[in-house]
Amino acid sequence: MANEKTWYTWTDYPCPDVSSVAGQLKSFMWILKAMLKGEITGPNVGPEGAAPSSSNWTVYYSCDGATAGTANDGVDRWGATYDATKLVTTTAAAAHSWMVVKSPAALGPYYLCLDLVSANASWGNIAFAKTAFTGGTTTARPTSTDEVTWLAGQMVDSNPWSVPGGRYHRCIDANGNFWLFSSKNGSNSITGAYGVQTLKNLRMASDTWPVVGCFEYNASGALKYGSGSSVLGGTSAVIKGRNYNGSAVCVFPMVGLDYQASVSVWTAMSGLFSGDGLVDTFPCTLFSATASNNGFKGDFYDMKQVLASAIVAGARYPATGTQEKTVVGSCLVPLSVVPSL
């Protein structure tokens, strides 16, 4: 099974503010918005080149803590350059910033609402929806009738990254499916993974959510780059969508269809396929452990969950020729540039 999408990669975009935990949270929210709009690019771009404009998400509306927009006004009140004064956080129902972004039509469209309110400096809220968000004031984010949420989720480290700093790494396809990874400099670890992903081989043709949102963060470094615990497959992973009839929120664990048992076997596999310039892997399958949610949902494009024992730090595939994937935790993900960690 050859690589099925072209993924546009950049890595090593620096975290704008690592002086405090609150600054890191603001930075993450702004980088997520700016990355989706195509406003920023890391210094290391993959061999596939820059992403096409069709991959860009757009601002639906926003609030900078002082002025709240109205649905579909298209105004980005956070700005095209990082400005901490436009990203106001709060611990209660007080004035704060939020942002609603809309995916390309080819992806749905789907919507993300980024909300900077939480009782903990390292936490934030992200709501994911198929139906457009409405409402919203300076003290309350907009809502959607079918939203699924990561509420009070840890999104950045609970300690400042001031020494050393941090970086972000992205891959996106032409329709706006994406992964955004965070890392702390010098740690050889990915700390967080965030994404919106289309699933293939859907088990239910009537599934109203063929796209899922994915989120995982662990400040202790459990999302190891190249070894250790898995990214997107561990107990802290949150992968959300809706069941086939759209009536219930689902949290899906990920299942890796794996047959590698040692470094030698994995190395042999990478060498076997390196000549065609493609990476051939079994898919990662998503399923719900809740019977009412109908078990298996579908497969991720271009991702493979592998055994940690079969991974070495900084691994890239294929071993020769144009790189297409990079190992993060126990997953092979479509990053065509190995991040500097």
Domain that holds residue 227: 175-333
Mean pLDDT along residues 151-171? 85
Q: Give the number of domains in the chain.
A: 2
281 located within any domain: yes
- Same structural domain for residues 37 and 139? yes
Same domain (yes/no): 96, 221: no
- Tell me if 165 is assigned to some domain: no
Order of strands across the sheet with 316-317? Answer: 304-305, 331-333, 325-328, 316-317
What is residue 256's predicted lDDT score, i.e. its pLDDT? 43
What residues pair up with 96 in beta bridges, in sequence order? none
Over residues 21-33, the pLDDT tens digits come to 999 999 999 999 9
Residue closest to 249 by CA, chosen among 208, 192, 216: 208
- Within-domain flag for 7: no
Q: How confident is the model at residue 36 (pLDDT cuts 50, 70, 90)?
A: very high
Cα separation, 223 vs 330, whole angstroms = 9
| pLDDT: which is higher, 320 or 213 | 213
Same domain, 132 and 219: no
Q: Are residues 96 and 132 in the same domain?
A: yes
Average pLDDT over residues 78-89: 97
Q: Which of 154, 187, 210 is the last residue of a domain?
A: 154
* Largest CA-CA distance found in the chain, in angstroms, rounded: 58
Residue 308 lies in a domain: yes
Same domain, 26 and 125: yes
Domain boundary among 103, 124, 154: 154
Spatial contact of 283 and 238, defined as CB atoms under 8 Å apart:
no
Q: Read off the pTM.
A: 0.88
318-326 average pLDDT score: 72
Short-list 255, 28, 45, 314, CA closest to 155: 28
Mean pLDDT of 124-150: 93
